[in-house]
């Protein structure tokens, strides 16, 4: 919300690595868990929410338990959906019961994948779900789409990385509309004039630029120590 209020979403996320934002001249409309932030003054927010609900109905989700992407950034020329992980890596859903749930997001849109079974084998249920919903939302808005998995590098082990890579390899176009972004990369773009965000990231123990620009600090045992 701080980035949205300060009009700095593009300024931070573009150099941090989200593809295609460099040439976009306007800040996006933002939805957090399906709710616009801040509430928009026209019908755009309700249109996007309605589109998400229509997609949810199409894939027969429960009306009281719909998918709500963590973050939706609706730029004038691009749609970005972000699956956010902070305290943990991507959840691995691979039981027989869980595997059946994947088909809800694959059947009827096999064209979004090159290898549907590989998408299931990846165990990245939330990414598969957001891939389907984000693509259909972008199609309705007639915009290019990118799905971003925002994770902590220090929380990503080899198993997590292998699962995400397998998910990417299952996608159409070689997965070029999917990318992993690390909190540490976002924090590296936080500058001294972004005091509110800087303090928030510090409180969460994420690397941020120090005031003299000579290094990074991280919270360790309650103390800020130089990297």
| pLDDT above 70: residue 208 | no
pLDDT band at 212 (very low <50, low <70, confident <90, very high): very low
> What percent of the chain clears pLDDT 70, i.e. is strictly above it?
73
pLDDT band at 99 (very low <50, low <70, confident <90, very high): confident
How far is Cα 185 from Cα 126, in angstroms, rounded to an integer? 22
More confident residue, 82 or 7: 82
The 10s digit of each residue's pLDDT in 170-207 is 999 888 899 998 887 877 776 655 666 667 667 766 65
Element (H, E) at 3: helix 2-6
> What percent of the chain clears pLDDT 90, i.e. is strictly above it?
33
Produce one character per residue of 30-49: b if its CB has 16 or more CB atoms within 10 Å, e if not.
Answer: bbbebebeeebeeeebeebb
The residues facing 225 across adjacent strands are 218
Calculate the alpha carbon distances from 34 to 22, 28, 95 in Å.
Answer: 26, 15, 28
| pLDDT above 70: residue 126 | yes
Is the distance from CB of 106 to CB of 135 less than 8 angstroms?
no
Q: What is the mean pLDDT of the chain?
A: 78
Element (H, E) at 161: helix 158-169
Write out the two tokens for 5: 């209020």
| pLDDT above 80: residue 43 | no
DSSP string, 166-209: HHHHTBGGGGTTEEEEEHHHHHTT--TT-HHHHHHHHHTT--EE
pLDDT of residue 6: 57
pLDDT of residue 27: 82
CB atoms within 10 A of CB 110: 12
- pTM across the whole model: 0.82
Any residues with CB less than 8 A from the CB of 100 and at least 6 apart, and which? Answer: none
| pLDDT above 80: residue 47 | no
| pLDDT above 80: residue 131 | yes
How far is Cα 136 from Cα 147, in angstroms, rounded to an integer? 12
Across residues 56-80, what is the average pLDDT? 87
How far is Cα 190 from Cα 46, in angstroms, rounded to an integer? 32
């Amino acid at each position: 919300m701080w980035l949205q209020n300060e009009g700095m979403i593009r300024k931070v996320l573009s150099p941090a690595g989200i593809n295609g934002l460099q040439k976009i001249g306007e800040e996006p409309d933002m939805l957090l868990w399906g709710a616009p932030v801040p509430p928009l003054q026209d019908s755009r927010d309700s249109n996007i929410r309605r589109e998400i609900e229509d997609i949810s109905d199409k894939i027969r989700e429960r009306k009281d338990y719909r998918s709500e992407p963590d973050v939706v950034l609706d730029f004038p020329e691009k749609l970005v959906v972000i699956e956010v992980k902070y305290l943990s890596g991507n959840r691995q859903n691979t039981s027989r019961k869980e595997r059946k749930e994947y088909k809800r997001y694959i059947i009827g849109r096999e064209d979004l994948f090159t290898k549907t079974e590989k998408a299931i084998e990846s165990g990245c249920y939330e990414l598969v779900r957001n891939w389907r919903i984000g693509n259909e939302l972008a199609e309705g808005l007639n915009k290019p789409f990118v799905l971003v998995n925002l994770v902590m590098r220090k929380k990503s082990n080899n198993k997590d990385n292998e699962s995400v890579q397998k998910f990417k390899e299952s996608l159409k176009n070689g997965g070029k509309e999917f990318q992993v972004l690390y909190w540490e990369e976002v924090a590296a773009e936080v500058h001294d004039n972004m005091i509110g965000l800087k303090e928030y990231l510090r409180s969460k123990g994420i690397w941020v630029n120090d005031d003299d620009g000579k290094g990074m600090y991280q919270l360790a045992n309650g103390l800020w120590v130089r990297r």
